[in-house]
């Protein structure tokens, strides 16, 4: 208790005397904690929900049977004929849009009659959500009615309501026959009889999945083997939930990278805690001496300063918790849309701030604060009482070893270069991350030398350019080398990450823009209305495609078809293009293949043959190259396909395989296309043709894009995808700028004697203000220079190592000059503005008190 | 006309809500070429008087005329200009900026006043205080006496009409302190400026042209030689 009282008197009370500075430090920690927590909560909510709707309705089954393009309906009969007591649940699984609200929901087609009786018989009561359906007794008669649906209670519909659903490119009306209680809105789905679903989706003769409940004996592997043996070669039997796990694995890189990016604010916050505790130690050297002389041990001193940092950590964590929860709400929307457009259908789940989240926040806040304060706290504990009580203020630069640190920095930079050459470990760019960390540490170590050199060479020049205040500012920064270095380190780290991510995203964007100019040769594109999730491939009525081809001015209609398939336990897209169309449309000259071979040479190899081209992310993930052969389960058969080449593709990280339409129809005979690419005659007016197409498509819910609109839409999705990274960078910069403001406040307090002396020597108040603003400006300039250099180096690692190893994309390096200049200008302006309040405080200092207090 | 004229000056402070009277109805004239020593116990009002004389503070009642101008009538910019042009300050702990060389410290008042080409003046002032050749050094490379000489050179750089020194020998040994006081006296006479020294030093009092003994904010005795 006495120790706590002493801690309060000696450590906490002084902090309360400087509420703004202490508040800024706490806020910096709070923002760091909040960002990490927000990304953690949001990534669980956004990526953890993709399985929920389908899986929640899957019940307690053991195995699932799938096949690319659907499982033949006959498999149900085959299974039923087996001499085993197994429960068989075939289902159709897709998505439907509520036509009035445009909300997307999973659409599940079940064999309601047989499943209902099976569940009824299953007295174990573990039959999933539908077993608890609040279906009125008379709803039984509607089970096989093709207009009947059952919905989750969170949809807010009641029995008898009429609901219009957009399924593929058609709107159909259904009647709600029952409402089942769903535990939360993410698990709600629209359920109908399997035959009705097949009809609505024109998926005759096939089901998407068959779920099996098998007896406990023998084991699951044996059941898997027995059932596989009874089914055609292309049909896969696997434990239920495998798809969910695969999806989760697929999302790992996305989640990892986002999570690591969220730590940047925390790193910047750590710099600032280090600075705050360093200032605290320097200011209290006399007090340290006194309490040491009065009997305090080194451990007590160490504990006191670590305790001070822990106070910042706890306070920051407590503020960071609600802040993180709030940020997560925004983050989850951005992340969910990215997951959907790049990976898999998903609806954000509920954000759950539980005990683990609170512990995580406290651990991060206190952990980072204590770790970053340890070094200055230890320095405080090593001060001898006599030295500490000696008159005069010891400057920070006592422990600076510029040259030694510079050498260390060079060695670390070399180590970073070596690490960046290493391959991925288990699909994760661990050495890329290591290279990034090494470079950041190298930069921090090199900054004292950098600041020394720059200030030494420029102080006179600055004096000539901006007056004596600039010279004084420059000298002051050089004299407080450790403090200056820490501040420049903090801000430059934030700027470097902003620059690196800016270059990476800018390069990526430019690559996408260039790629689209080659990949989108048609004049108009048509697809079913609804959200374009990466794993959803609704189809357009076949008749519509045929009708459009007859419109005057239309040269050709290319029918593209895509399926969600699995290859080597990873989800991917199998697509087909109508290569016959290439006979009548123009070719594009620019090669978009890794080999550099022209399109004109490669695509003809695909025609009517078991030859495919694969996307770069697919080839990278599965370690494939041109000339290799892959085996895919297609329909009821296993197809061996030769890879003609690898094409650049930025549309999805999942990877894709492209084959000729005729080849696909041999395995997957459903002729309905997923998209149409329409080529218009150069002699026809595009707008006139478009109007005719819209007329022909009346009655179909489709979206028609011109080439330019499609590109704009793609870029809009791209920008939305990366909005969260910009937001994370912005928070890191805000934390750093807050740190600069806090540090300048400390600087003013510590240098009040010097600033007052200047007043005695004839300095006007305006000159004092200018001096502090110039210091802020110089700090900003030094941080910008160091940050740009570090950011440039980091961008190489991001573009060529982390991105490549995480996602498999080749990005062409591009400087987004305008964005960088604008961002750096904003950061610089913010840094100077951060000096306004400290400058005002400096002006308000009473010079008499400050000069005479010695 | 005296360089500095304090006319019935009183100065009150508020300390913890209590009114404290630092100076009571004090009047004093200081002429060119005169060195005045303010002596008395700590807290007798020496530093307060110096602050008023240097236009760093204002009297509660009465007036302070610096070169005939009442400091109370001036705005902040005018006070800054007055200090830049007419007042030089010397402090007990030298108050040199350790980030600047001796030259740069000495030049600082002129640079703050926006003057250029000041090196010649700095060299001259350093010669006055016998610090030729040490201009490129930093303060920590000087002895205490040398630092105070540099501070005197800085106080004289802009050719002030009055120099105000607060315990200029307080951080020096007796011998060095005497040398500094003699230097101040010599420059006061040679450059025909007024110097007011607040001091506890008997030696300073013995050297000064005028000794003003303060007690509880009042002039107890004025001794002119």
pLDDT tens for residues A672-694?
899 899 999 888 899 999 999 98
Task: Report how far residue B30's alpha carbon sits from residue B212's, in angstroms, rounded to the nearest whole number.
Answer: 11
Provide φ and ψ at A634, rounded to 5°: -120, 120
Rg of chain B taking only CA atoms, in angstroms = 17
Mean pLDDT of A555-568: 89
Has residue A330 got a pLDDT over 50? yes
More confident residue, B61 or A113: B61
pLDDT tens for residues B143-160?
989 999 999 999 999 999
The residue count for chain B = 225
Task: Report how far residue B149's alpha carbon sits from residue B153's, in angstroms, rounded to the nearest whole number.
Answer: 6
Task: Report how far residue B196's alpha carbon sits from residue B219's, in angstroms, rounded to the nearest whole number.
Answer: 15
Q: So what's the ipTM on this one?
A: 0.87
Task: Judge whether B75 is closer than 8 Å to chain A, CB to CB.
Answer: no
Task: Judge whether B18 is closer than 8 Å to chain A, CB to CB.
Answer: no
Nearest-Cα residue of chain B relative to residue A843: B76
- In angstroms, what CA-CA distances link A781 with A488, A495, A817, B149? 9, 11, 18, 37
Please state the pTM of the whole predicted model: 0.77
Per-residue tokens: A501:
């991510």
To probe the interface with A, which of B42, B51, B95, B117 has the most A CB atoms within 10 Å? B95
CB contact (8 A) between residue B83 and residue A848: no
* Contact criterion met (CB below 8 Å) for A579 and A661: yes
Which chain B residues have a beta carbon less than 8 Å from that of A763? 80, 112
Task: Report how far residue A484's alpha carbon sits from residue A480's, in angstroms, rounded to the nearest whole number.
Answer: 6
| Predicted local confidence at residue A53, as pLDDT | 54
Least confident span in A281-290, A476-485, A797-806, B86-95? A281-290
Measured at the CA of B155, the angle between CA A762 and CA A769, to 5 degrees, comes to: 20
| Predicted local confidence at residue A411, as pLDDT | 96
Smallest CA–CA distance, residue A467 to chain B, in Å, is: 8
- In angstroms, what CA-CA distances link A238 with A53, A68, A206, A210, A569? 19, 14, 18, 11, 10
Task: Report how far residue B191's alpha carbon sits from residue B156's, in angstroms, rounded to the nearest whole number.
Answer: 10
Kindly indicate the confidence band of residue A139, based on its pLDDT and cuts at 50, 70 and 90: low
Task: Judge whether A587 is closer than 8 Å to chain B, CB to CB.
Answer: no
Least confident span in A261-265, A637-641, B29-33, B122-126? A261-265
Q: How many CA atoms lie within 13 A of A200 on its CB side?
A: 32
| Predicted local confidence at residue B198, as pLDDT | 92
CB contacts < 8 A, A to B, total: 62
Has residue B163 got a pLDDT over 90? yes
- Percent above pLDDT 70 for chain B: 100
To probe the interface with B, which of A468, A483, A751 has the most B CB atoms within 10 Å? A468
More confident residue, A268 or A406: A406
To probe the interface with B, which of A761, A766, A843, A845 has the most B CB atoms within 10 Å? A761
Least confident span in A227-241, A439-453, A553-567? A227-241
Task: Report how far residue A620's alpha carbon sits from residue A624's, in angstroms, rounded to the nearest whole number.
Answer: 7
Task: Judge whether B42 is closer than 8 Å to chain A, CB to CB.
Answer: no
Task: Report how far residue A316's alpha carbon sits from residue A849's, in angstroms, rounded to the nearest whole number.
Answer: 34
- Percent above pLDDT 70 for chain A: 89
- In angstroms, what CA-CA distances link A744 with A322, A469, A747, A771, A829? 28, 16, 5, 11, 15
Task: Report how far residue A520's alpha carbon sits from residue A524's, in angstroms, rounded to the nearest whole number.
Answer: 9
Has residue A417 got a pLDDT over 90? yes
Nearest-Cα residue of chain B relative to residue A764: B80
Per-residue tokens: A499:
């620059």
Which chain A residues have a beta carbon less than 8 Å from that of B136? none
Smallest CA–CA distance, residue B54 to chain A, in Å, is: 8
DSSP structural state of residue A425: B
Rg of chain A taking only CA atoms, in angstroms = 33
| Predicted local confidence at residue A640, as pLDDT | 93
Which chain B residues have a beta carbon less than 8 Å from that of A473? none
More confident residue, B155 or A261: B155
- The mean pLDDT of chain B is 90
Smallest CA–CA distance, residue B109 to chain A, in Å, is: 5
DSSP A186-237: GG--EEEEHHHHHHHTT-TTEESEEEEE--SSS-HHHHHHHHHHHS-TT-EE
Diameter of chain B measured on Cα atoms: 52
- Contacts of residue A19, defined as CB under 8 A and 6 or more positions apart, other chains included, come to none
Domain ranges of chain B: 31-59+71-224
More confident residue, A386 or B43: B43
With b for 16 or more beta-carbon neighbours within 10 A and e for fewer, the A405-440 pattern comes to bbeebeebbebbeebbeeebeeebbbbbbbbbebbb
Mean pLDDT of B74-82: 87
Which chain B residues have a beta carbon less than 8 Å from that of A475? 97, 99-100
Task: Report how far residue A334's alpha carbon sits from residue A329's, in angstroms, rounded to the nearest whole number.
Answer: 9
Has residue A123 got a pLDDT over 50? no
Least confident span in A112-121, A127-136, A298-307, A366-375? A127-136
To probe the interface with A, which of B79, B97, B151, B170 has the most A CB atoms within 10 Å? B97
Has residue A140 got a pLDDT over 70? no
Kindly indicate the confidence band of residue A531, based on its pLDDT and cuts at 50, 70 and 90: low
- Which residues share a beta bridge with A573? A564, A656
| Predicted local confidence at residue A394, as pLDDT | 46
Kindly indicate the confidence band of residue A576, based on its pLDDT and cuts at 50, 70 and 90: very high
Helices (H) and strands (E) in chain A, counts: 30, 20
Task: Judge whether A754 is closer than 8 Å to chain B, CB to CB.
Answer: yes
- Which residues share a beta bridge with B69? B66
- In angstroms, what CA-CA distances link A650 with A518, A808, A809, A810? 12, 10, 7, 9
Asked if omega into A218 is within 30° of 0 (cis), the reply is: yes
Q: At what angle do helices B174-190 and B144-156 cross, to 10 degrees?
A: 20
pLDDT tens for residues A737-768?
888 888 888 778 778 888 888 998 989 999 99
Nearest-Cα residue of chain A relative to residue B51: A848
To probe the interface with A, which of B13, B59, B82, B99 has the most A CB atoms within 10 Å? B99
Task: Report how far residue A621's alpha carbon sits from residue A566's, in angstroms, rounded to the nearest whole number.
Answer: 13
pLDDT tens for residues A197-219?
988 888 888 888 899 988 888 88
Task: Report how far residue A143's alpha carbon sits from residue A624's, in angstroms, rounded to the nearest whole number.
Answer: 48
Mean pLDDT of A572-576: 92
CB contact (8 A) between residue A854 and residue B93: yes
CB contact (8 A) between residue B99 and residue A767: no
Which chain A residues have a beta carbon less than 8 Å from that of B154? 761
Residue A742 exposed, middle or buried by CB count within 10 Å (0-12, 13-18, 19+): buried
The residue assigned the tokens 């080529």 is: A679
Task: Report how far residue A702's alpha carbon sits from residue B179's, in angstroms, rounded to the nearest whole number.
Answer: 99
With b for 16 or more beta-carbon neighbours within 10 A and e for fewer, the A295-329 pattern comes to ebeeebbbbbbbbbbbbbbbbbbbbbbebbbebbe
Task: Judge whether A753 is closer than 8 Å to chain B, CB to CB.
Answer: yes
CB contact (8 A) between residue B83 and residue A854: no
Nearest-Cα residue of chain B relative to residue A853: B93
Smallest CA–CA distance, residue B90 to chain A, in Å, is: 10
Has residue A283 got a pLDDT over 90? no
CATH of the structural domain B31-59+71-224, one choice from 3.40.50.150, 2.40.10.220, 2.30.30.30, 3.40.50.300: 3.40.50.300
Which chain A residues have a beta carbon less than 8 Å from that of B89? 760-761
| Predicted local confidence at residue A378, as pLDDT | 87
Per-residue tokens: A631:
């085996």
Task: Judge whether A466 is closer than 8 Å to chain B, CB to CB.
Answer: no
Residue A84 zone, left/alpha/beta (φ > 0; ψ -120 to 50; rest):
beta
Task: Report how far residue B2's alpha carbon sits from residue A848's, in angstroms, rounded to the nearest whole number.
Answer: 25
- Which residues share a beta bridge with B20? B13
Task: Report how far residue A839's alpha carbon sits from residue A627's, in angstroms, rounded to the nearest whole number.
Answer: 68
Kindly indicate the confidence band of residue A131, based on its pLDDT and cuts at 50, 70 and 90: very low
DSSP H helices, A383-480, are 385-389, 402-420, 430-466, 468-479
Per-residue tokens: A306:
């670590």
Smallest CA–CA distance, residue B1 to chain A, in Å, is: 24
- The mean pLDDT of chain A is 83
Has residue A610 got a pLDDT over 90? yes
pLDDT tens for residues B171-207?
888 888 888 999 999 999 999 999 999 988 888 888 8
Least confident span in A293-297, A702-706, A787-791? A293-297
Which chain A residues have a beta carbon less than 8 Å from that of B114? 467
Nearest to B163 by CA among B34, B40, B45, B14: B34
Highest-scoring range by mean pLDDT, A105-109, A374-378, B99-103: B99-103
Nearest-Cα residue of chain A relative to residue B48: A848
């Amino acid at each position: 208790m006495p120790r706590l009282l002493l801690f309060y008197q000696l450590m906490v009370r002084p902090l309360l005397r400087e509420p703004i500075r202490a508040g800024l430090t706490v806020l910096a920690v709070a923002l760091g904690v909040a960002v990490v927590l927000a990304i953690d909560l949001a990534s669980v909510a956004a990526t953890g929900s993709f399985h929920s709707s389908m899986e929640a309705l899957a019940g307690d089954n053991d195995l699932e049977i799938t096949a690319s393009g659907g499982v033949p309906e006959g498999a149900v009969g085959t299974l039923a004929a087996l001499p085993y007591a197994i429960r068989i649940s075939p289902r159709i699984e897709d998505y439907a849009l509520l036509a009035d609200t445009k909300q997307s929901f999973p659409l599940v087609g079940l064999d309601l009659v047989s499943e209902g009786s099976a569940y009824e018989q299953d007295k174990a009561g573990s039959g999933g959500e539908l077993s608890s359906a609040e279906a009125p007794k008379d709803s039984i008669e509607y089970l096989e009615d093709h207009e009947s649906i059952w919905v989750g209670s969170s949809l807010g519909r009641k029995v008898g309501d009429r609901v219009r659903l957009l399924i593929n490119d058609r709107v159909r009306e259904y009647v709600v026959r029952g409402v089942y209680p769903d535990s939360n809105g993410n698990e709600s789905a629209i359920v109908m009889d399997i035959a009705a679903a097949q009809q609505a989706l024109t998926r005759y003769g096939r089901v998407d999945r068959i779920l099996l409940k098998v007896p406990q004996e023998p084991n699951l592997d044996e059941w898997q083997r027995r059932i596989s043996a009874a089914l055609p070669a292309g049909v896969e039997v696997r434990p239920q939930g495998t798809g969910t796990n695969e999806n989760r694995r697929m999302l790992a890189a996305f989640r990892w990278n986002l999570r690591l990016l969220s730590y940047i604010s925390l790193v910047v916050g750590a710099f600032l805690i280090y600075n705050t505790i360093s200032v605290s130690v320097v200011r209290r050297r006399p007090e340290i001496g006194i309490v040491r002389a009065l009997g305090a041990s080194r451990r007590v001193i160490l504990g006191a300063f670590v305790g001070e940092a822990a106070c910042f950590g706890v306070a920051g964590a407590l503020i960071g918790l609600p802040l993180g929860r709030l940020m997560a709400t925004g983050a989850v929307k951005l992340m969910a849309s990215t997951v959907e457009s790049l990976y898999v259908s998903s609806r954000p789940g509920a954000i759950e701030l539980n005990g683990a989240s609170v512990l995580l926040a406290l651990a991060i806040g206190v952990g980072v604060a204590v770790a970053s304060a340890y070094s200055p706290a230890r320095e405080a504990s090593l001060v001898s009482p006599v030295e500490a009580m000696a008159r005069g203020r010891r400057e920070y630069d006592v422990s600076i070893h510029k040259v030694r640190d510079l050498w260390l920095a060079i060695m670390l930079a070399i180590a970073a270069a070596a690490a960046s050459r290493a391959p991925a470990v288990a699909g994760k760019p661990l050495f890329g991350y290591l290279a990034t960390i090494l470079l950041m540490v190298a930069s921090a170590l090199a900054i004292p030398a950098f600041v020394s050199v720059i200030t030494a060479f420029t102080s006179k020049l600055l004096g000539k350019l901006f007056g004596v205040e600039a010279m004084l500012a420059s000298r002051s920064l050089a004299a407080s080398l450790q403090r200056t270095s820490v501040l420049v380190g903090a801000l430059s780290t934030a700027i470097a990450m902003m620059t690196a991510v800016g270059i990476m995203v800018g390069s990526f964007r430019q690559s996408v823009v260039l790629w689209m100019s080659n990949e989108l040769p048609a004049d108009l594109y048509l697809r079913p209305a609804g959200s374009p999730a990466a794993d959803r491939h609704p189809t357009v009525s076949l008749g519509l495609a045929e009708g459009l081809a007859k419109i005057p001015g239309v040269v050709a209609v290319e029918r593209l078809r895509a399926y969600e398939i699995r290859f080597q336990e990873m989800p991917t897209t199998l697509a087909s293009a109508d290569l016959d169309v290439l006979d009548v449309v123009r070719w594009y000259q620019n090669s978009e293949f890794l080999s550099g071979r022209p399109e004109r040479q490669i695509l003809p190899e695909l025609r009517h043959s078991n030859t495919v081209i694969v996307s770069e992310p697919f080839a990278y993930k599965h370690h494939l190259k041109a000339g290799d052969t892959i085996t895919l389960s297609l329909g009821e058969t296993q197809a061996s396909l030769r890879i003609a080449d690898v094409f650049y593709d930025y549309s999805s990280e999942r990877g894709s395989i492209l084959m000729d339409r005729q080849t696909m129809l041999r395995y997957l005979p459903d002729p309905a296309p997923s998209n149409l690419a329409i080529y218009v005659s150069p002699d026809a007016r595009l707008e006139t043709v478009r109007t005719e197409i819209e007329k022909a498509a009346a009655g179909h819910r489709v979206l028609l894009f011109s080439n330019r609109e499609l590109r704009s839409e793609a870029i809009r999705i791209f920008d939305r995808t990366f909005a969260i990274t910009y937001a994370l960078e912005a928070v890191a910069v805000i934390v750093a700028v807050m740190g600069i403001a806090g540090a300048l406040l400390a600087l003013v307090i510590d240098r009040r004697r010097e600033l007052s002396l200047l007043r005695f020597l004839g300095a006007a108040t305006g000159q004092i203000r200018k001096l502090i603003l110039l210091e802020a400006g110089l700090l900003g300039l030094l941080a910008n220079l160091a940050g740009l250099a570090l950011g440039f180096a980091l961008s190489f690692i991001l573009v060529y190592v982390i991105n490549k190893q995480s996602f498999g994309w080749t990005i062409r390096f591009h400087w987004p000059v305008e964005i960088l200049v604008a961002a750096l200008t904003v950061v610089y302006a913010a840094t100077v503005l951060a000096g306004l309040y400290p400058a005002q405080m400096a002006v308000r200092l009473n010079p008499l008190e400050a000069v005479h207090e010695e | 006309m005296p360089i500095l004229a304090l006319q019935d000056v009183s100065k009150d402070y508020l300390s913890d809500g209590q009114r404290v009277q630092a100076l009571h109805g004090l009047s004093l004239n200081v002429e060119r070429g005169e060195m005045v020593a303010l002596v008395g116990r700590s807290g007798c009002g020496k530093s307060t008087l110096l602050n008023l004389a240097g236009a760093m503070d204002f009297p509660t009642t009465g007036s302070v005329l610096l070169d005939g101008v009442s400091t109370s009538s001036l705005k902040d910019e005018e006070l800054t200009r007055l200090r830049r042009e007419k007042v030089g300050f010397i402090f007990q702990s030298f108050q040199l900026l350790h980030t600047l060389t001796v030259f740069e410290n000495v030049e600082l008042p002129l640079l703050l006043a926006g003057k250029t080409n000041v090196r010649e003046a700095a060299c001259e002032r350093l010669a006055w205080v016998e610090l030729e050749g040490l201009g490129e050094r930093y303060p920590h490379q000087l002895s205490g006496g040398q630092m105070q000489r540099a501070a005197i050179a800085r106080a004289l750089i802009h050719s002030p009409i009055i120099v105000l020194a607060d315990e200029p020998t307080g951080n020096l040994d007796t011998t060095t302190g005497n040398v500094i006081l003699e230097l101040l006296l010599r420059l006061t006479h040679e450059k025909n400026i007024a110097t007011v020294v607040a001091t506890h030093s008997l030696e300073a009092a013995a050297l000064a042209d005028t000794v003003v003994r303060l007690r509880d904010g009042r002039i107890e005795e004025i001794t002119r030689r």
